[in-house]
Structure 1
Amino acid sequence: MKALTATGRPDVPVAFAEVEQPRPRPNEALVKVEAFSVNRGETFKLEDPAARWQPGKDVAGLVVQAAADGSGPAACTRVVGHPSGGGWAEYVAVPTDALAELPESIGSVQAAALPLAGLTALRLLRVAGPVIGRRLLLTGASGGVGHYVTELAAAAGAEVTVVVASAERGRRLVELGAAEVVHEVADATGPYDLVLESTGGADLPLALARLAKRGTLIWFGQASRTPATLDFFDFFAGPESATLRHFHYADSDVPDSEDLAALVRLVAAGRLTPEIGRIAPWAETAAVLADLRERRIRGKAVLTVSASI
């Protein structure tokens, strides 16, 4: 079968190769991939790919071989999945606890935009707790996670301030429920009961300073790729008794399959909108990766898979 594999070259980070079709473990279903989405974090891993690493964590397609242990969807079921890798291919083996069935109302392109960003947003807000009536600051809001968090938090009653680079990107977030748009963390007035911080670098201490007394900052990303320096004496000058928490989306007691099914239900009910800034055939993956890395794509980028490549 054909798959996109890492080249280690900065100009063309992936290329097509003929590889062996996956042999599913007993708890895995074999999925024919119809669409996959790419994530900015994957562009960083492609700079220095580990040996035998196969990219691809967000897929949607058709189960062509059900899991041998009897778990998960049956053959011929349309699914969205979150494998550990290997999804940028014609076929991928996915553990059944990382699969959710799709209704006819949700296409593969929409579904492929859900897994990593949607799971991150859902679990961030679960960790944050009830947000009704709380002031929330979200940095790095123009990506896939930011759109999902904004829509879900605003619908749950939060007053959401988003940090984005441009007014154009901010307008869409206002449509999804953001109460205020700023272009720099320094422009956010606060104080905020909750800060969701994804950029690191100089923004992290600035965001921390905007916390209300006993507020919480959840740090879930390092998009700036710049180390953050914190002076913990700043807690005494501003957010007294504040909480600083690190978050990783994979650290969850809820299986991916359950949370993916919840995301699918929200989309089907019109309560969650996959924000897709680019749809392209998978032959254009290398170019899309470059645009995603340089922040030229708002929301998610989805590639459609064709066997004719």
Structure 2
Amino acid sequence: MKAFVATGNPAESVRRIEVQEPVQRPDEALVKVDAYSVNRGETFQLEGPPREGWRPGKDVAGLVVQAAPDGSGPQVGQRVVGHPPAAGWAEYVAVPAGGLAVLPSSVSAVQAAALPLAGLTALRLLRTAGSVAGRRILLTGASGGVGHYFTELAAAAGASVTAVSASAERGERLGELGAAAVVREVGDAQGAFDVVLESTGGKNLPVALSRLAPRGQLVWFGQASREPVELNFFDFFAGPLSATVRHFSYADSDGPDAPDLQTLVRLVAEGRLHPEIGLTADWGLTAQVLDDLRQRRIRGNAVLTLS
């Protein structure tokens, strides 16, 4: 079968080659991939692959062609969305049954492929924020898939979301999804906020912290700027007295991904969650799309399709 592998060459980070078809473990289903999503964070992984033989790809949608040998999960012929640990940019991928959710006919493979990483992150961020009804939330780096999903979910739950987006077009869309306010810079946000969700790092995190209300919570879940943070803890006395700063990882979950994936699929099917597809292209263009992601030429999710 054909699959993309990491090259270790910044000029061409991936190459499509022939590889062996996956060998299923007892709890894995074999999925014929119809579409997959690429995320900006994966471009960072390609710069330094985590292990020998690793292949990229964590967001897929397709058809189960072999069910898990242990009988768990979706069965042959069912359309699914999946979140494998790796190797999804391929014609076939073995996915743990606990990382698969069945798709209704109303949800397309392109929509579904845009859900796993960004959608799971947004859904679990919302849980981390706690009861958000009536609370003010500041969200930095809101132009991407996580930002769009979180804004729509939080606004529907009764939160007042201020989203930070440098793009006027993306800002307008965030407003349509329920953001109470959209600002171009973190410093333009009018606090104080009960919760700050910070994903850019660098100089923005201390500014975001200064917008936090006393006893509020700042949740750090990314560092898109790739710049280190310098934080003066005396700044807590200037406003966010007794505030909490915590780290969040979407992978820190108590159980399998399938229930949360099924929730995301249900919300899309009911018209209550809208995947933001910034680009759809043939999977042969994966290397070019990755470069576009690095250069921030794509807003929302980028989805590659297999014929």
* Aligned residue number for residue 302 of structure 1: 303
Whole-Å Cα distance in 2 between the matches of residues 88 and 32 of structure 1? 11
Deviation of 1:76 (Å): 0.5
- Letter of the structure 2 residue corresponding to residue 15 of structure 1: R
Task: Please give the residue correspondences for 1:195-274 in structure 2 after superposition, counting only pairs within 5 Å.
Answer: 195-274=196-275
* Aligned residue number for residue 23 of structure 2: 23
Deviation of 1:48 (Å): 2.3
Is residue 12 of structure 1 aligned with residue 9 of structure 2?
A: no
* Aligned residue number for residue 38 of structure 2: 38
- Letter of the structure 2 residue corresponding to residue 252 of structure 1: S
Aligned to 1:60, the other structure's residue is in SS state: strand
Whole-Å Cα distance in 2 between the matches of residues 270 and 291 of structure 1? 29
Task: Please give the residue correspondences for 1:145-164 in structure 2 after superposition, counting only pairs within 5 Å.
Answer: 145-164=146-165
* Aligned residue number for residue 88 of structure 2: 87
The size of the alignment, in residue pairs, is 306
Deviation of 1:293 (Å): 1.3
Maintained 8 Å contact 2:165/2:182:
yes
Maintained 8 Å contact 2:60/2:82:
yes
TM-score by length of 1: 0.98
* Aligned residue number for residue 118 of structure 2: 117
Aligned to 2:16, the other structure's residue is in SS state: strand
Whole-Å Cα distance in 2 between the matches of residues 11 and 151 of structure 1? 36
* Aligned residue number for residue 284 of structure 1: 285
Q: Deviations over 1:208-231 (max 9, x none)?
A: 110011111100001000011111
Deviation of 1:10 (Å): 1.2
Aligned to 1:178, the other structure's residue is in SS state: coil
Deviation of 1:52 (Å): 1.0
- Letter of the structure 1 residue corresponding to residue 19 of structure 2: V
Deviation of 1:254 (Å): 3.4
TM-score by length of 2: 0.99
Whole-Å Cα distance in 1 between the matches of residues 88 and 255 of structure 2? 22
Whole-Å Cα distance in 1 between the matches of residues 269 and 170 of structure 2? 25
Whole-Å Cα distance in 2 between the matches of residues 154 and 295 of structure 1? 26
* Aligned residue number for residue 47 of structure 2: 47
Whole-Å Cα distance in 2 between the matches of residues 72 and 42 of structure 1? 27
Whole-Å Cα distance in 2 between the matches of residues 88 and 168 of structure 1? 30
Whole-Å Cα distance in 1 between the matches of residues 306 and 258 of structure 2? 23
Aligned to 1:109, the other structure's residue is in SS state: helix
Deviation of 1:167 (Å): 1.2
Maintained 8 Å contact 2:143/2:167:
no
Aligned to 1:23, the other structure's residue is in SS state: coil
Deviation of 1:253 (Å): 1.1
Whole-Å Cα distance in 2 between the matches of residues 121 and 115 of structure 1? 10
- Letter of the structure 2 residue corresponding to residue 14 of structure 1: V
- Letter of the structure 2 residue corresponding to residue 63 of structure 1: V
Of all paired residues, the percent bearing the same amino acid is 72
Q: Deviations over 1:114-172 (max 9, x none)?
A: 00000000000011111111111000000000000000001111111010112111001
Q: CA RMSD in A?
A: 0.7
Q: Deviations over 1:63-82 (max 9, x none)?
A: 00000001000100000000
Whole-Å Cα distance in 1 between the matches of residues 170 and 110 of structure 2? 21
- Letter of the structure 2 residue corresponding to residue 106 of structure 1: V
The answer for unaligned runs of 5 or more in structure 2 is none
Whole-Å Cα distance in 1 between the matches of residues 63 and 83 of structure 2? 14
Deviation of 1:13 (Å): 0.8
Whole-Å Cα distance in 2 between the matches of residues 15 and 87 of structure 1? 14
Whole-Å Cα distance in 1 between the matches of residues 2 and 289 of structure 2? 19
Whole-Å Cα distance in 2 between the matches of residues 171 and 18 of structure 1? 43
Query: Following superposition, which runs of at least 4 residues in structure 1 exceed 4 angstroms of deviation?
Result: none
- Letter of the structure 1 residue corresponding to residue 11 of structure 2: D
* Aligned residue number for residue 67 of structure 2: 66
Deviation of 1:51 (Å): 2.1
Q: Deviations over 1:178-222 (max 9, x none)?
A: 111111111112110111100001001110110011111100001
The more displaced of 249-258 and 83-92 is: 249-258
